[in-house]
């Protein structure tokens, strides 16, 4: 669309009916309909009161920016009496705009009265004094608060994959997901993935189970946050996971007990027990742990916001409960499922209660259809063979995760 002058033509109105119906002519060059812009004259807020007026705008086709010309999405209905047209004033900004609109307002033969929702007039005010009250410095309409109906936007669900492997080697980070920048799901690689400033923004860590590859960086994260002025780092998990951490990690033998450091009144670490299959509010998201099958008590998580949800399986072998929950979850956007060993290591996978590509294919029948499935927790020595076996399944829903991938649902 070219740089153009938009023209309103002959607003047809009835003085006695108190209504006005704008007649809008498509633009001659591209056929785009006339739209009102926030950078127009203040009186343009009530288009039904203007007999004729000319507006200037920039069109994207001319290579000029259009950010300050954002269209008004909705316009109220006004009952008005027309008292004569506004004189044409080119749209400008800053000091020139104030002078131009002041001159235009003083040149009008009669004050224009606005009636209806969003009126510029207060009790006993003329349109001119009302406009001066609303626009005291006669700036553009971008700085004006107006009664247009607005629906608050839903925030997206941001997931950053910091680590996606079930073991450690150069270039292979252990399982870690960062949600909305402040909640970590598992903590295999938080400290080697994030700078100190990003670590300090983490408010909580939710754990799927107490195997070392899922909390390896947690003791170092807690040490880095010691003395932080904000609230203690919250580690949330069902009771069996927290009991293992208390007994075997933060016990003043393996690692200092930061639930009492630097003092019991102001600790660095706080444990938060959450119940199975009950939602837990974790900052900007809601977490719900669901039991899965593993060698030790393990849990998957449903992570949700209004209008969107994802499922993390945690470490598991073929299971049922979490897929029942997934089928009942509305607006499910993705499933993150573990696959640790290749099909040639099926006996190891069975004994350690992990998944192989063949088992993943069988689990697909239990999941909601048409939901993408992202595979993680691959053991580094098995990765190449797992990749070939997943490709041989020819299942478009299955995708292998890589570290440092980001999602926004």
pLDDT (tens digit per residue) in 182-219: 999 999 999 999 999 999 999 999 999 999 999 999 99
* Residue predicted with more confidence, 329 or 31: 329
Residue pLDDT, tens place only, 24-39:
444 444 444 444 333 3
* Residue predicted with more confidence, 73 or 211: 211
Could you give the CA distance from residue 314 to residue 312 in angstroms, rounded to a whole number? 6
pLDDT at 326 over 80: yes
pLDDT at 137 over 80: no
Burial class (CB in 10 A: 0-12, 13-18, 19+), 188: buried
The answer to whether position 87 is within a domain reads yes
pLDDT at 329 over 90: yes
Cβ-count burial 3-26 (b if 16+ within 10 Å, e if not)? ebebebeebebeeeeeebebeeee
Could you give the CA distance from residue 43 to residue 35 in angstroms, rounded to a whole number? 15
Same structural domain for residues 193 and 342?
A: yes
* Residue predicted with more confidence, 80 or 251: 251
Query: Residue 233 has what pLDDT?
Result: 98
Same structural domain for residues 337 and 192?
A: yes
Same structural domain for residues 122 and 234?
A: no
Q: In the predicted model, what is the mean pLDDT of residues 118-135?
A: 47
Contact 327, 363 (CB under 8 A): no
Using pLDDT thresholds of 50, 70 and 90, give the confidence band for residue 99. confident
pLDDT at 362 over 60: yes
**Percent of the chain whose predicted confidence (pLDDT) is above 70:** 63
Q: In the predicted model, what is the mean pLDDT of residues 95-102?
A: 68
The answer to whether position 68 is within a domain reads yes
Domain ranges, residue 126: 4-143
The answer to whether position 331 is within a domain reads yes
The answer to whether position 252 is within a domain reads yes
Q: How far is CA 96 from CA 17, 31, 34, 316, 396, in A?
A: 38, 31, 25, 68, 59
pLDDT at 173 over 80: yes
With a CB cutoff of 8 Å and minimum separation 6, the contacts of 378 are 164, 165, 166, 339, 340, 386, 400
Provide the pairing of β-strand 158-163 with 176-179.
antiparallel
Q: Which of the listed residues 110, 143, 176 is the one where a domain comes to its end?
A: 143
Average pLDDT, the chain: 77
Same structural domain for residues 341 and 248?
A: yes
- In the chain, how many H helices and how many E strands? 10, 20
Same structural domain for residues 215 and 332?
A: yes
Residue pLDDT, tens place only, 36-64:
333 344 444 444 333 333 333 344 444 43
Q: How far is CA 371 from CA 148, 332, 365, 407, in A?
A: 37, 7, 12, 14
Sign of CA dihedral 310, 395, 293, 249: negative
The answer to whether position 150 is within a domain reads no
Counting other chains too, the contacts that 143-151 makes at CB distance below 8 Å and 24 or more residues apart are 144/38, 144/42, 146/45, 146/118, 147/76, 147/117, 147/118, 148/72, 148/73, 148/74, 148/75, 148/76, 148/118, 149/74
Same structural domain for residues 250 and 396?
A: yes
Burial class (CB in 10 A: 0-12, 13-18, 19+), 211: buried
Same structural domain for residues 171 and 137?
A: no
Q: In the predicted model, what is the mean pLDDT of residues 296-320?
A: 97
Residues making up the chain, counted from first to last: 409
Q: Which of the listed residues 114, 143, 172 is the one where a domain comes to its end?
A: 143
Residue pLDDT, tens place only, 374-404:
999 999 999 999 999 999 999 999 999 999 9
pLDDT at 85 over 70: no
**Percent of the chain whose predicted confidence (pLDDT) is above 90:** 61
Q: Which of the listed residues 143, 176, 209 is the one where a domain comes to its end?
A: 143
pLDDT at 157 over 80: yes
Query: Residue 97 has what pLDDT?
Result: 65
Same structural domain for residues 66 and 190?
A: no
Provide the pairing of β-strand 54-57 with 332-338.
unpaired
pLDDT at 354 over 70: yes
Same structural domain for residues 181 and 329?
A: yes
Residue pLDDT, tens place only, 288-300:
999 999 999 999 9
Same structural domain for residues 334 and 285?
A: yes
Using pLDDT thresholds of 50, 70 and 90, give the confidence band for residue 230. confident
Q: Which one, of 106, 93, 114, lies nearest residue 46 by Cα? A: 114
| Angle formed at CA 407 by CA 401 and CA 409, multiple of 5 degrees | 130
The answer to whether position 49 is within a domain reads yes
The answer to whether position 151 is within a domain reads no
Contact 206, 234 (CB under 8 A): no
Same structural domain for residues 375 and 292?
A: yes
Same structural domain for residues 94 and 48?
A: yes
The answer to whether position 153 is within a domain reads no
Q: Which one, of 230, 175, 234, 88, lies nearest residue 376 by Cα? A: 175
Q: Which one, of 56, 55, 43, 119, lies nearest residue 83 by Cα? A: 43
The domain that contains 375 carries what CATH number?
3.60.15.10
Query: Residue 228 has what pLDDT?
Result: 85
Residue pLDDT, tens place only, 243-281:
999 999 999 999 999 999 999 999 999 999 999 889 999
* Residue predicted with more confidence, 342 or 85: 342
Residue 235 bridge partners (DSSP): 205, 271
Could you give the CA distance from residue 233 to residue 215 in angstroms, rounded to a whole number? 14
As for how many domains the chain has, the answer is: 2
Q: Would you list the DSSP string of 233-281?
A: EEEEE-HHHHHHHHHHTBSSSSB--TTSSB-SSSBSEEEEE--TTS-EE
């Amino acid at each position: 669309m070219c740089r153009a002058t938009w023209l309103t033509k002959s607003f047809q109105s009835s003085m006695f009916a108190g209504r006005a119906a704008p007649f809008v002519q498509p633009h001659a060059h591209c056929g785009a309909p006339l739209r009102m812009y926030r950078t127009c004259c203040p009186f343009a807020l009530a288009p039904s009161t203007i007999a004729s007026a000319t507006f200037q705008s920039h069109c994207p086709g001319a290579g000029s920016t259009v950010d300050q010309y954002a269209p008004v999405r909705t316009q109220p209905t006004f009952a008005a009496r027309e008292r004569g047209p506004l004189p044409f004033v080119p749209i400008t900004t800053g000091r020139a705009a104030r002078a131009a609109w002041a001159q235009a307002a003083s040149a009008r033969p009669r004050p224009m009265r606005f009636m209806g929702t969003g009126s510029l007039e207060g009790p006993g005010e003329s349109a001119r004094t009302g406009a001066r009250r609303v626009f005291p410095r006669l700036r553009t309409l971008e700085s004006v608060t107006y009664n247009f109906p607005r629906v608050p936007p839903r925030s997206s669900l941001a997931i950053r994959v910091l680590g996606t492997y079930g073991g450690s080697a150069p270039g292979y980070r252990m399982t870690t997901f960062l949600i909305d920048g402040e909640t970590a799901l598992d903590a295999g690689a938080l400290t080697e993935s994030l700078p100190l400033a990003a670590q300090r923004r983490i408010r909580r860590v939710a754990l799927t189970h107490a195997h070392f590859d899922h909390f390896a960086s947690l003791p170092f994260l807690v040490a880095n946050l010691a003395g932080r002025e904000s609230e203690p780092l919250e580690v949330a998990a069902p009771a069996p996971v927290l009991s293992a951490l208390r007994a075997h990690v933060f016990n003043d033998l393996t690692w200092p007990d930061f639930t009492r450091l630097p003092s019991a009144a102001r600790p660095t670490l706080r444990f938060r027990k959450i119940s199975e299959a009950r939602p837990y509010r974790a900052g900007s998201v809601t977490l719900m742990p669901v039991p899965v099958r593993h060698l030790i008590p393990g849990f998957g998580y449903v992570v949700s916001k209004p209008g969107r949800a994802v499922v993390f399986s945690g470490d598991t072998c073929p299971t049922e409960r979490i897929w029942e929950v997934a089928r009942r979850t509305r607006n499910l956007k993705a499933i993150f499922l573990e696959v640790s060993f290749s099909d040639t290591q099926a006996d190891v996978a069975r004994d350690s209660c992990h998944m192989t590509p063949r088992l993943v294919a069988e689990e697909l029948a239990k999941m909601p259809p048409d939901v993408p499935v992202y595979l993680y927790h691959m053991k580094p020595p098995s990765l190449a063979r797992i990749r070939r076996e997943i490709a041989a399944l020819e299942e478009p829903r299955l995708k292998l995760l890589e570290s440092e991938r980001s999602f926004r649902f």
